[in-house]
Amino acid sequence: MRIRSGQALRLLLLGILPLLLSLHAGQQDVTALNREATELLEAGHHEQALEKYRAAAALDPADRAIRFNIGLTLYRLGRYEEALPHLEESLGYEPSAAQAHYLRGVIYFELRRYTECAGELEHVRANSRYGEQALYMLEESYRESGKAEAAEKAFVEIEGRYPDSAFLHKLMGMAYEARDHNEEAIREFEAALRVRPGMPDIAFGIGFIHFKQSKYDEAVSWFEKELSVQPCYAQALHYLGEIHRLREEWAGAEVRYRSALECDPSLVDARIGLGSVLDHYGYLDQAIAEYQFAVRLAPERSQAYFKLAATLRKAGRKQEALKATLRAQKLYKKDQQKQATEREARRSR
């Protein structure tokens, strides 16, 4: 379970604040604009803050603190690619350098550009302010990049420097869960919640383990806890839909799947789930449309093709069904070979 949500990433940004300017002769307007922009930013008025920061930058294009503030504002607006060059310009300014490296690392982490993420975060690995979060992202980034030795070093370092870190407990929980050591995984996730109550993603992780074990009442409880922290957590909504479907509570399943897709229209599993509900109701054309959407989103997923083929057959569209079946069988064989390789790799560790 390697899941990151917007709320989880905001946790990584605790302590990242805009920079204030020292007042210098002839810079009263620049300083005043920066101060006004900062007040707007902290009040949540991001577009207005950006306008003020850009006005300040126009008066003093060389001021790197303002460039940092523009980058931070663009990040908060979700405009990550635009934020990066502004933050890069602020790297040479000592008061903002560590924050800029760290924020660029967070952006690359969110964009799943793990090599660049690690390059930025190595600059703040030893930083007392950002070290815990940086080591967590470094471990994830190196692991996702296939650099197991570097990932292990980051893990050992966070364990040594922050032995009761919520991020460490999360990493350990994820590692146990990946190996199906479910009791140990739950214990680590619960430890993370003791250190940081309401830490994003953790309740979902516990719920997911219970779901895999078919302990649906427990799973529902934990998914609902995650939704109390993150109301638009698409995967939690999806798995609640799955539980309704498995219990043949079709109306509840439809509501949860649609809610998941409102939060994340690209969530393939929720598309497939909604298609199953529509198929059950006999709305075959609508179900086919959902399955076709799913295969466009994930053309290598055999499950979507199997579902599509079955509903096409029910609709009497035999040639299309045969084509989807052949594609599904080919992908399924490929999936099985990949899973066998992964199992062998885990056994050899």
Q: Express each pLDDT in 167-199 by its tens digit.
A: 999 999 998 998 899 999 999 999 999 999 999
Query: What confidence tier does 345 reach under pLDDT thresholds 50, 70, 90?
Result: low
pTM: predicted TM-score of the whole model, two decimal places: 0.76
Query: What confidence tier does 17 reach under pLDDT thresholds 50, 70, 90?
Result: low
Structure tokens, 148: 């197991």
pLDDT of residue 294: 97
pLDDT of residue 24: 46
| pLDDT average, residue stretch 17-44 | 74
pLDDT of residue 93: 87
Q: Is the pLDDT of residue 36 over 50?
A: yes
Q: Is the pLDDT of residue 244 over 90?
A: yes
pLDDT of residue 340: 79
Are 287 and 279 contacting, i.e. CB atoms less than 8 angstroms apart? yes
> Maximum CA pair distance of the chain?
80
Closest CA to 308 of 290, 281, 335, 296: 290
Q: Is the pLDDT of residue 349 over 70?
A: no
pLDDT of residue 52: 93
Query: What average pLDDT does the chain have?
Result: 90
pLDDT of residue 28: 64
Query: What confidence tier does 23 reach under pLDDT thresholds 50, 70, 90?
Result: very low
Query: What confidence tier does 25 reach under pLDDT thresholds 50, 70, 90?
Result: very low
Name the residue ranges covered by the structural domains of the chain. 1-151
Helix, strand or coil for residue 217? helix
What percent of the chain has pLDDT above 70? 90
Q: Which residue has the tokens 């009040």?
A: 43
CATH T-level fold of 1-151:
1.25.40
Contacts of 89 (CB under 8 A, 6+ apart): 64, 67
Q: Is the pLDDT of residue 18 over 50?
A: yes
Closest CA to 129 of 170, 169, 98, 97: 98
